[in-house]
Amino acid sequence: MKELFQHTAITDGITVRVAVNFLPEQSRIEAGKWFWVYHIRIENDSNEAVRLVTRHWRITDGHGIVNFVEGDGVVGEQPLLKPGQSHDYVSGCPLSTPHGSMEGYYTFEREHGGPLRAAIPFFPLAAPATAG
């Protein structure tokens, strides 16, 4: 299963895995729009429950323009992960260039402590050469 995820970051027992794919059927290359879908798996290998509270993304396009996206939870949820549990979700990212990158972090609240900032690994967004 872990082979499905190309990118991984581990912070204090929280593992964030990412698989990313370019979606030509959602892209409009003639209009300068490229679209990727990414699958995130968050695994709690720590000794206490954690709740995902916020997300913080740094999205960079092929021109070096950076956009920051912050918000509560992920896809409308703030999942509670007990030790040994995982949470999966899928989302997407449009860009006006055929390549770019994403990275960031999640903020969790620990069951018996303060906040935990878990890294989301850097991952490239790269359309195939045939897609623009």
pLDDT in tens, 41-81: 999 999 999 999 999 999 999 999 999 999 999 999 999 99
Confidence (pLDDT) at 130: 62
List the structure tokens of 94.
């449009």
Examine the pLDDT at 105 and tell me if it is beyond 90. Answer: yes
Percent of the chain having pLDDT more than 70?
A: 96
pLDDT band at 118 (very low <50, low <70, confident <90, very high): very high
Examine the pLDDT at 112 and tell me if it is beyond 90. Answer: no
Pairing type for strands 80-81 and 115-126 reads: unpaired
Region 96-106 average pLDDT: 97
Region 91-106 average pLDDT: 97
Average pLDDT, the chain: 94
pLDDT band at 1 (very low <50, low <70, confident <90, very high): low
Whole-number Å distance between alpha carbons of 80 and 50: 6
Task: Name the E strands within 1-132.
Answer: 7-11, 14-22, 34-44, 50-61, 66-72, 80-81, 86-95, 99-110, 115-126
**SS3 state at 1:** coil
State whether the Cα torsion 83-84-90-93 is positive or negative.
positive
